[in-house]
Each structure stands twice: as C-alpha cells, then as structure tokens.
Amino acid sequence: MAVVRLSFSPAPVHVRTARLVGVAVARRAGVRQGLLDEVRLAIGEACTRAVALHQQHNLSDPVRVEMSDDGTYAVRVVDRAPIEAGADLAALPPYELAREQLSEDVLTTGVGFALLAGFVDDLLVRPADGGIGTEVQMVWPLEH
C-alpha cells in the first residue's frame, strides 16, 4: 500500500496543486484513465469546500489530504471547520439553482456537492478524527 499525504494553507491557489497531486497518485495507483477527469474534479470540489469553510471560520489550520491505494484508490480531505460534519452538503433542486435570492456561495456549495455525489460512487462524509471538522472520503476502483 502506498500513502501520500498533503497539507496546505487554506488558500484557493493551492487547490490546483492538490488536484494535480491527487490525479498523479491516482494514475500511478492504477485508476482507469477514463476516471481521472472525475478524480480531478472530485478532489478539487472537496478541497474547494474545505478551503471555503476555513476562510469562513477564519481558520489558518491547513487542509489535509490523504491519498492511499490498498485495493482501491481512497482520498480523504479533512477540514477543521466547527460545524456539524457535512451540514453544508446538500444538493439543490433544479428550480432552486436560478432563484434570484440564492447567494453565489450557497449555489456553489450545492453544485459542488452535486458534482461530488455525481462523480464519486463511493462517497462518505463523516466527522473528522478528533471531533471537529469533516472528513470527505472518496474511493475509486483500481484496474489491477
């Protein structure tokens, strides 16, 4: 089993780095080529959400990402935001999306969750170890 851990300051500019690392590790682990775009998008969405939460709560703690391959390719993105785990994660129905009163932040979060749920068959959202924060775990199959 290989494990790659990454932690980064909660700034938007670093989300791209996390995406690139996540896809590179996925490719090396043996995730099917056709899934890599979805891996890239899902890791980006999970990290974007974590960065946004840290900024909303004025947290300078790093966002943590752990990638591992042990029969499957698993990516865990952990934030330290003091909210009920995953409380912000809910899909918006289509009629809500273009509602004038809906803020861009709420819309982006809802759309981000729709992308996570749509692109990750094996998605788990739970409280982070230690109780504060959320862990978003995404798992993809390996080819070999």
Q: Which residues bind other proteins (CB under 8 A)?
A: 12-13, 15-16, 37, 40-41, 44-45, 48, 51-52, 92-94, 97-98, 100, 104-105, 107-109, 111-112, 114-115, 118-119
> Which of 88, 70, 75 shows the shortest CA–CA distance to 120?
75
Q: Which is nearer to other proteins, 15 or 74 (CB)?
A: 15
Shortest distance, position 23 Cβ to other proteins, whole Å: 11
Pairwise CA distance, residues 17 & 36, whole Å: 15
Shortest distance, position 75 Cβ to other proteins, whole Å: 16
Q: Is 77 exposed, middle or buried (0-12, 13-18, 19+ CB in 10 A)?
A: buried
Q: What residues contact 95, with CB distance under 8 A and at least 6 apart?
A: none
Shortest distance, position 2 Cβ to other proteins, whole Å: 25
Q: Which is nearer to other proteins, 6 or 69 (CB)?
A: 6
